[in-house]
Structure 1
């Protein structure tokens, strides 16, 4: 039986599977109907088909991933290296490339899932309930990993629509702590840092202003003190400008420096005069002056005698020495000895040049004669050898087998053992060896010619360096003269030394005489100088009755006191100038510091205003956060009491109408950012019960899980309007199954959900096929039977369409 494929508004249209888990080969399953029922005994591939559908739609299989993150390596059929799955879906849900399959090879997954990200998430969490998860669905919903939200909390958050409120709460959570707010709000952290820095800067500059003002007060008092020391008035009420003006006028009119210079000069001159007075204690006597004059006359006479006797001889000797080139800047003996040595060296050098020139001339003559002879030999040998070689060569060309010589007509064999031709060839070989000798003669000639050229150049140079007879005679004459001068050099040297000693003696005695004659007028000079300094120092002295030394000492004391007094006064003026300069500088610094304090205060105010504004906004953020918290609380209570629990109760009581305890959500504390949701039960009479795991049977616990899954699916607008169940009626009795079939029919026919159900019991499959059969025109049901039916012509796939009941129609 063949099946036909029709396209409708259902989200999932078809699934193609190749070598995936229990499904061998390639199978294509049509899914373009509101309800699809899948049947097959255990192990025939029902779960494999639904797992392939989940992988093709979302790119993962969550139930397997919970057991191992390497589950993809086990997806290909046994013995196959890879598996492929492809699903066709409605266009508005597509996320990958339509028609491109997913390929699983080892741990790799190539290709993109069919659904987009939002649809994939919705399908995995709200549409597909796998067989292994049903029995522990309540535990899976409440399982928590670390600080992550549970699946139930995520569902409820999405249902409540609190994402924006929670985001607002999360964003404003740091607003309660200003330290956290600084990092959250742009510019607040900078403003806080700058405000603190500005406060520290203001504190530092305020302290600096205090220090500068204290320094200014100290400089002001120092200026007043120095003005008092200079007798320029107390200046108690003067302002800073008046104090500095007083100092300026005082220093401008100050003559202390000039007075100090005069007093210092007078003191130094008195010190020098005291030295002269001390030296004049040993005054020269008349007898000593006469003795010095007599000694001077005797020395002059001796020097005159020397001039008459020795001077002319010394001058003549020096003229003769200069004529022969003697350097008289040193002693006579040394000068003559040096000049003699130079002449001797010149004579010896000339003789050596003459000897060398004669030797080179002789060698040059012999070389020229040898070169001429060698050249003649070479010319003769070359001429003879050339003519003979030409003749023998011509002779050899006319000699054939005959041994008769064409010159002498004799048979060569009479005197030789070999033929005439052989004899000519031997002669030619001999002449060839003679040619090699010619080459050697040429080489010898060239070498000898080069040697003769070198000798000619050297002989020319030596000839140019040779000394002429006149030059030699001049040198010999100079040498003779120098020998004569050397013999008289010692006497000349002694005479010159004696003359120098006589000259020195005359000069010394003349100087001594002048000093002795000048010392006689020293008393008059000293008395006059003492009177002059007494007038300058305004001191009265009696130089006639008191010794010169005592008067000079008194004047020195007065001059020294005057110098000290003027030095102190000059120091006071310098102190006044320094104090005024310090006062001016510190006033300028004070003005700058005051300005900087004002600027720092202004800068601190600006940053403080920003901090104040930030704290004002922080208060607004706190108010907003409190309003959000209040609104969130109202929404949580309203949704849990009026919506979510009501939907779950409706679905559960429809599936289990006889169960007394009804599962529900405990309302969480809405003050928390994340929900800590607990499941509980309530009896139909309103009495509270324990958790569902404690109050419900195994069958009703599965029913509670299934109803919770359906309630969470129905609580929001579906992104993917489909429900996929893998054997969802585990441990259910007939009543529960009937209620489940009715609920599925309601979801499919009225709520527009595409429903895919896989079961392994044949009776349940047949029952559901009957209960979910098409009920109106355009309604369809697809049944897929795995296992043995897969080998039939229709591959176990049947499409059931609505057909009018003939009996009812008639």
Structure 2
């Protein structure tokens, strides 16, 4: 329990400039000052010392702290002191230091007690007009400030905690968020069910595949093991069946044997077809006679016409060692020799033409060189004779000309007038002109000489190149002889073309006849050997009687058909065995997978059953929790309704009627209950007859609205257990008439004297201040009153004038 407030020291806080001391150690403290003097600043300083914050400013954050310092001051502080410390756990004062950039508070009250003071013991002027709005908040419903207050008042926190704690039981999503393990077990079930479905699908797939394999195996085994009884369910029976269908060494040997027989028959058939197709109906002796006669005809030609070609080729070998002989064919060797002779002929002619052209060029260039050399000598003589003298004389005259001013010669000092040839200057100018013309002619001669020199140089270079193309007379003579010989060869070979073509034809006929004879002879020999081999192969495949050995082609065809059939039978049997063995292996694998899947499915089913059992238990617990929550909610709603009807509304009604006895409508709280049992407090007015009317804002006057707000605050203050004995009011009698003020003064006296409250009231009207000073002055032993008046000095500093009143016995009454 806290004791009475003793004093408040304020320095440079808001509108208070300088340092002031406010005495507070009395049952009632009245504070007066005109607007702007600092009444509200004193009450805000008191709130800061108690709670460390200014409640109505802190709603928007802590930004207000930088503006707490009085304008023009660097820093300020507040110190609050209690009269005495009754409890060991409670301090004796609170301190706050502040500036524009810093704020440090050591409030007197702990956070819970500080909140209680701000909500139940301190009514700032800014909150009075909004009090009804705060408690008439339509949006907060079950969490409205009034409902929360009643919960606190009645100690409903355990029931609230029970209801709030069990709320997730009504909504599965909340339960999942609150209990991650429940979400995990749901996910586990979904995972198990999904995995079980996949496993069941695998089992159905394995069973279908095994059924297909059973059908195919039954059909295949019926072919290779007729009458065999099959037991697919037993592992030993399947292993025995595998041994029965496994391909043995005899099966491989039989397959190799029939493949070998087929290969040999195919090879013999191909060879026999080639020999049979190659044989002609002509007799071998006739072929031999034809080969002999055609060979003799070619030899006769070779000894006559062919001899001439051999002689020419032999003669050309000295020039062309690689020339073809007649053994390569008469026409071919003739054409080759003709081509080589013509090529050599063309080469000789080309060399001779180049040599003759070079000789002509040499003669022409020599003539050009002689003429150019003579011309150069002539031009050199002309140039040597006059160029140097003419140029020097012209330069000398040009140098003298500037010194000629009359007819006297500047060289010999004689008068040119004696010559009767005009003036000396004109004569010298004419002479210089003549010399200049001669110099121009000599320059032209020099240019002509340069041209002739260029011609000479070009001719000499051409002569050097032409000399390289010239050959000697002996070489030219050899080329002329070679040309004549090659021309003779070429002409001769060209004329021999028809005869050589005839020889080539004879040679080809002889070669073809001999080749045909040798081919037929060889085929006859091969046929004899092949026939016996074929009959041997046919006997190995089928039994042919000696009387049937007349048609070899037919016997061979029958044997090939028979061996193809045997190969197909052996390959089919082996293929079926391989297929059976593969199918049995697949069947074993599927059986293993099926057994494994069935075991997994059984395990998953057991897990799903256990998870379902756990979830069922959770559902039972949820239902029990719902029942408990609903019961707690019902109890809580009943308590709240009863308190609102019997306690808070009754107290508010009594206070309101005490201050406004003539008002016909009384404010009250209505507590409708929703379908879930939740309570929502709303404001209404009741006529004194008991008829329900509208909201206070629609029925009451402004003065009575203030009275309703003030009495609501006092009802809320008086409804709770006494934690703090302080009641601080900032100008609480706004818009009140004299009757209301009189009743308010009496109420304050009752609160102070009868309910042991320390009351701090600030007013701005002087008449009201004087009236309250009189009405609240001490009337009994132990009563006390302090009045505080706030003003400003000429310099603007805050001035506090305090006066303390104690009980004084009236001597007149006592007498």
* Pair in the same fold by TM > 0.5: yes
Instruction: Report the Cα distance in structure 1 between the residues aligned to 2:605 and 2:10, rounded to whole angstroms.
Output: 68
The yes-or-no answer on 1:576 pairing with 2:577 is yes
Q: Which consecutive residues of structure 1, in runs of 5 or more, have no partner in the other structure?
A: 1-6, 18-25, 66-82, 103-110
Q: Once the 2 structures are TM-superposed, how far is the Cα of residue 263 of structure 1 from its aligned partner?
A: 3.3
Distance 1:254 1:739, change over 3 A: same
- CA deviation after TM superposition for structure 1 residue 303, in Å: 0.6
682, 688, 700: which one aligns with 1:678: 682
C-alpha spacing 1:364/1:387, structure 2 compared with 1 (3 Å): same
Aligned to 1:657: 658
Shift of 1:596: 6.2
Superimposed CA distance per residue, residues 731-760 of structure 1 (whole angstroms, 9 cap, x where no aligned partner): 55525643356428847995456544455x
Q: 1:735 to 1:461 in 2, by over 3 A?
A: same
After superposition, residues 79-90 of structure 1 pair within 5 angstroms as 90=78
Counterpart selection for 2:489 from 472, 485, 492: 485
Change (3 A) 1:166 1:458: farther
Q: Please name the residue that 1:781 is paired with.
A: 787
Deviation at 1:780, TM superposition (A): 4.3
Change (3 A) 1:277 1:316: closer
Q: In 2, Cα distance between the equivalents of 1:595 and 1:49?
A: 86
Bigger drift between 233-242 and 713-722 goes to: 713-722
- Once the two structures are TM-superposed, the CA of residue 456 in structure 1 deviates from its matched residue by 6.2
The residue number in structure 2 matching 1:100 is: 100
Distance 1:319 1:718 in 2: 153
* Correspondent of 1:314 among 302, 305, 309: 309
Q: Aligned in 2, Cα 1:774/1:604: closer, same or farther, shift over 3 Å? A: farther
Q: Please provide the CA RMSD for this pair.
A: 6.5
Residue of structure 2 aligned with 1:208, choices 198, 202, 210: 202
1:535 to 527, 539, 543: 539
Are the aligned partners of 1:216 and 1:587 in contact in 2 as well (CA < 8 Å)?
Answer: no
Give a deviation string over 1:169-217, Cα, whole Å, max 9, x none: 5575344444554455446546544542443233223332343344345
Contact preservation (8 Å) 1:344, 1:479: yes
The change in CA–CA distance for 1:583 and 1:691 in structure 2 (over 3 A counts) is: farther
> 1:59-78 residue pairs with structure 2 within 5 A?
none
Distance of 2:95 and 2:317 partners within structure 1: 126
Q: How far apart, in 2, do the equivalents of 1:624 and 1:372 lie?
A: 144
* Contact kept in structure 1, 2:246 and 2:577, CA below 8 Å: no
2:744 is aligned to 739
Q: Which residue of 1 aligns with 2:329?
A: none
For 1:708 and 1:774, locate their aligned partners in 2 and report how far apart those are by CA, in whole Å: 27
d(CA) in 1 for partners of 2:162, 2:416: 144
Conserved? CA contact 1:679–1:691, under 8 Å: no
Q: Residues 653-732 of structure 1: matches in 2 within 5 Å? A: 653-654=654-655, 656-657=657-658, 665-666=669-670, 669=673, 675-679=679-683, 690=692, 693=695, 698=701, 702-712=706-716, 715=720, 723-725=728-730, 728-732=733-737
Contact 1:127–1:720 (CA under 8 A) maintained in structure 2: no
More divergent stretch after superposition (299-308 vs 403-412): 403-412
Q: Is the contact made by 2:37 and 2:790 (CA closer than 8 Å) also made in structure 1?
A: no
Displacement after TM superposition at 1:495 (Å): 3.0
Distance 1:693 1:209, change over 3 A: closer
SS at match of 2:787: strand
Runs (5+) with no aligned partner, structure 2: 48-52, 61-70, 81-92, 325-331
Where do 1:424-435 residues align within 5 Å?
none
Quote how far apart the aligned CAs of 1:573 are: 0.6
Q: Any conservation in 2 of the 1:36–1:756 contact (CA below 8 Å)?
A: yes
SS in structure 1 of the partner of residue 544 of structure 2: coil
- Deviation sequence 1:427-481 (CA, Å, 0-9, x none): 89x99x989x99x999999999899878766654554455555554444444333
Equivalence for 1:144? 138
The 3 A distance-change label for structure 1 pair 417 and 201 is: farther
1:196 to 157, 174, 190: 190
Deviations 1:459-513 (A, max 9, x none): 5455445555555444444433332233223333323322221122123323444
> How far did 1:308 drift?
0.2
Distance 2:447 2:757 in 1: 130
In the superposition, relative to structure 1, how do residues 256 and 598 fare at CA in structure 2: closer, same or farther (>3 Å)? same
Evaluate the alpha carbon distance shift between residue 524 and residue 797 of structure 1 in structure 2; reply closer, same or farther with a 3 A threshold. closer
CA shift digits 1:200-240 (9 cap, x unpaired): 23322333234334434554665565455445983635533
Change (3 A) 1:262 1:161: same
Of 502, 505, 509, the match for 2:506? 502
Distance 1:94 1:186 in 2: 46
- CA distance 1:277–1:405, shift in 2 (3 Å): closer
C-alpha spacing 1:794/1:556, structure 2 compared with 1 (3 Å)? closer
TM-score, structure 2 normalization? 0.68
Contact 1:256 1:569 in 2 (8 A): yes
Aligned-partner SS, 1:802 = strand
Distance 2:731 2:230 in 1: 110
The residue correspondences of 1:14-93 to structure 2 (distance < 5 A) are: 16=14, 35=29, 37=31, 57=54, 90=78
Task: Find the aligned partners of 2:379 and 2:579 in 1 and give their Cα distance.
Answer: 110
- Asked whether the equivalents of residues 665 and 678 of structure 1 are also in contact (C-alpha less than 8 Å), the reply is yes
- Cα distance in structure 2, aligned partners of 1:804 and 1:200: 88
| 1:255 paired residue number | 253
What is the distance in 2 between the residues matched to 1:164 and 1:461?
132
Q: How does 1:132-531 map to 2 (within 5 A)?
A: 134=129, 137-138=131-132, 141-145=135-139, 150-153=144-147, 155-156=149-150, 173-178=167-172, 181-182=175-176, 185-186=179-180, 188-189=182-183, 192-193=186-187, 195-216=189-210, 218-219=212-213, 222=216, 226=220, 229-231=223-225, 234=228, 236=230, 238-248=236-246, 250=248, 253-265=251-263, 267-268=265-266, 271-272=269-270, 275=273, 283-284=281-282, 291-320=286-315, 331-332=335-336, 336-337=341-342, 340-349=345-354, 407-411=411-415, 460-461=464-465, 463-467=467-471, 469=473, 472-514=476-518, 528=532, 531=535
Distance 1:227 1:800 in 2: 125
CA distance in 2, matches of 1:527, 1:466: 80
Work out whether residues 783 and 799 of structure 1, in 8 Å CA contact, stay in contact via their aligned partners in 2: yes
| 1-structure distance, mates of 2:389, 2:725 | 131
Q: Distance in 2 between matches of 1:369 and 1:122?
A: 144
Q: Show the counterpart of 1:74.
A: none
Match of 1:68 in 2: none
Query: How many pairs were matched up?
Result: 747
Relative distance call for 1:448 and 1:540 in structure 2 (3 A) is same
Structure 1 residues 735 and 531, CA gap change in structure 2 (3 angstroms) = closer
| Mapped partners of 1:372, 1:352: distance in 2 | 31
Question: Equivalent residue of 2:801, what SS?
Answer: strand
TM-score for both structures, normalised by structure 1: 0.68
Q: In the alignment, is the contact (CA less than 8 A) between 1:295 and 1:509 conserved in 2?
A: yes
Mapped partners of 2:181, 2:385: distance in 1? 120
In 1: Cα distance, 2:453 partner to 2:611 partner: 112
Q: Which moved more, 1:371-380 or 1:474-483?
A: 371-380
Give, in whole Å, the separation in 1 of the partners of 2:260 and 2:162. Answer: 94
